[in-house]
Amino acid sequence: MSTDKIVMQTEDLKVSFPVRRAGHSTTVQAVRGVDITLRAGETLGLVGESGSGKSTLARALMRLIPSEGTVKLDGRDVSGLKPGAFRKERKRIQMVFQDPYSSLNPSLTVGASIAEPLKVHTKLSAAERAERISEVLALVGLNADYADRYPDEFSGGQRQRVAIARAIVLNPEILVCDEAVSALDVSTQNQVINLLEELRDKIGLSYLFISHDLAVVRHISDYVAVMYLGEIVEEGPVDRIFGAAAHPYTQVLLNAVPVPDPVAQRATTKLLLRGDIPDPTNPPSGCAFHQRCPFAMEICAQKAPPKVEIPGGGVAKCHLHTSGPVLAGRAISSLTEAGTETGIGAAYDGTPKSTLPAVAVSGNLESSL
């Protein structure tokens, strides 16, 4: 489905916020040098825990918050553009937000909300706008008469359809979906996901699909990037990521997804994650994940891991591929199957070493059931 045309690319994208803590001010590096590439017609899934910087990345791409680094749309660097000049680019990249209850202005009719991008970016007459609004309402599976109604007359799923209609009314190339189905119940989720897939085929949209829900991401994505503490720690084609994760963090996330069969569930090796996501004002030395990694080695605390090409596609940032057991691109699961005999310092032995309570990453499976 995807072609080789790159519609969006970021290079070393960084976002930092000033924070004031206990009187003195410091900065939080919410996004720490992210390179992502989105190809035409492709869906790039972005996963990670709460606080990993997924939404911040989306907001930086939409220029809702200031960022450093390069963002290219269709190969053209737009990161240096002034706000006025960037406004023209906005019709190419639009966003769907998480909460359909607050993303629509309650005092405007649905039609007025959808008309807004047309008013800002086109010179269509009122009649032409009305025609276009009926078109997109039909496209998202809503009755054209709904244009005159107010958002509070609609359900969550219908509102999200309206929000999608607003986002596609200008025929953008890219749609950034920030947890766009997370606030919906499961059956509605399915409908909205099907709608997104339908739109991809009909009007050739590319998606940056941000979610903490691995099942949804696996279903919709062609390519997946895993984010941890503001960095992409692993990326690759969806089947490679879900079939042979090369980064321990990815493996931990995958293991946290419950399996419907209780027997199979008990049989899965439970890689556990210690503690919470680290304080982004004071990120750990070396690899940001080393304090929580079940396979942490000495080098992990000292040096940031290099990017390693993984056979089957994509890259991972982990020392395990170059030091210690030298996985050289093999999946993390090959370590856990070998058990303690791998001989690495902190190899996973079935029990957490720390006296801290071990927690599974439950935050990432809220709606995977």
Partner 1 sequence: MAGLAILCILAVVAIVAPWITPYDPNATDLNTVLLQPGAPGHLLGTDELGRDVASRLLVGGRVSLIAALQGTGIALVIGVPLGLVSGFFGAWVDKVIMFVTDALMSFPALLLAMAIAGILGPNLTNAMTAIGLSTAPRAIRLVRGSVLGIREETYIEAARSIGTPSYQIVFRHILPNVLAPLVVFAAILAGTVMLIEAGLSFIGLGVQPPEASWGAMLGSAFTYISRSPWLAVFPGVCIAISVLALNVLGDGVRDSIGKKVRR
Q: How far is the CB of 139 from partner 1 (least distance, A)?
A: 18
- Under a CB-based contact definition with an 8 Å cutoff, are residues 198 and 230 in contact? no
Cα(366)–Cα(253) distance, rounded to whole angstroms?
12
- Selected from 90, 149, 219, 270, the binder of partner 1 by CB under 8 A is 90
CB of 118 to partner 1, least distance (A): 10
Beta bridge partners of 178: 210
Pair 275, 356: CB distance under 8 Å: yes
95 binds partner 1 (CB under 8 A): yes
Q: How far is the CB of 157 from partner 1 (least distance, A)?
A: 17
Stretch binding partner 1 (CB under 8 A), from 105-113, 125-133, 253-261, 309-317: 105-113
Compute the distance between CA of residue 100 and CA of residue 89 in angstroms, rounded to an integer: 24
Check residue 25 for interaction with partner 1 (CB under 8 A): no
> DSSP character for 204?
-
Residue 84 beta carbon to partner 1: minimum distance, rounded to whole angstroms:
9
Give how far Cα 172 sits from Cα of 31, 217, 301, Å.
25, 22, 43
| CB-based contacts of 247-250 (< 8 A; 24+ apart in sequence) | 247/316, 247/317, 247/318, 247/332, 248/289, 248/293, 248/294, 248/295, 248/318, 248/320, 248/332, 249/289, 249/293, 250/226, 250/316, 250/332
One of 106, 260, 343, 357 touching partner 1 (CB under 8 A): 106
- Binding-residue total with partner 1 (CB under 8 A): 27
Applying CB under 8 A, which of residues 14, 72, 121, 274 lies at the interface with partner 1?
A: 121
Question: In this structure, how many other beta carbons lie within 10 angstroms of the beta carbon of residue 168?
Answer: 21
Q: How far is the CB of 91 from partner 1 (least distance, A)?
A: 8
Of 342, 255, 347, 258, which Cα lies nearest the Cα of 296?
347
> What is the identity of the amino acid at 328?
A
Site for partner 1, residues 266 to 325, rule: CB under 8 A: none
**Interface with partner 1, residue 98, by CB under 8 A:** yes
Q: CB–CB of 160/96 below 8 Å? A: yes
* DSSP letter (8 states) at residue 313: S
Which residue number, 4 or 152, has a Cβ lying nearer to partner 1? 152
- Interface positions, 124-163, toward partner 1 (CB under 8 A): 150, 152, 163
Q: Which stretch binds partner 1 (CB under 8 A): 68-76, 91-99, 273-281, 318-326?
A: 91-99
Q: What minimum distance in Å lies between the beta carbon of 146 and partner 1?
A: 17
DSSP 13-80: EEEEEEEEETTEEEEEEEEEEE--EEETT-EEEEE--TTSSHHHHHHHHTTSS--EEEEEETTEE-TT
| Contact status: 102 vs partner 1 (CB under 8 A) | yes
64/138 with CB nearer partner 1: 64
CA gap 308, 315 in Å, rounded = 5
Compute the least distance from the CB of residue 278 to partner 1, in Å: 27
Give me Rg for the CA atoms of the chain.
Answer: 22
Binding letters toward partner 1, positions 45-84, x by CB under 8 A: --------------x--x-x--------------------
**Closer by beta carbon to partner 1, 102 or else 302:** 102
Q: Which residues contact residue 262 at a Cβ distance below 8 angstroms, ignoring those fewer than 6 apart?
A: none
Binding residues for partner 1 restricted to 156-195, rule: CB under 8 A: 163, 166
| Cβ nearer to partner 1, comparing 152 with 261 | 152
Q: Give the shortest CB-107-to-partner 1 separation in angstroms.
A: 4
Q: Using CB under 8 A, pick the residue from 1, 85, 120, 326 that binds partner 1.
A: 120
Binding site for partner 1 (CB under 8 A): 59, 62, 64, 87, 90-91, 94-95, 97-99, 102-108, 113, 116-117, 120-121, 150, 152, 163, 166
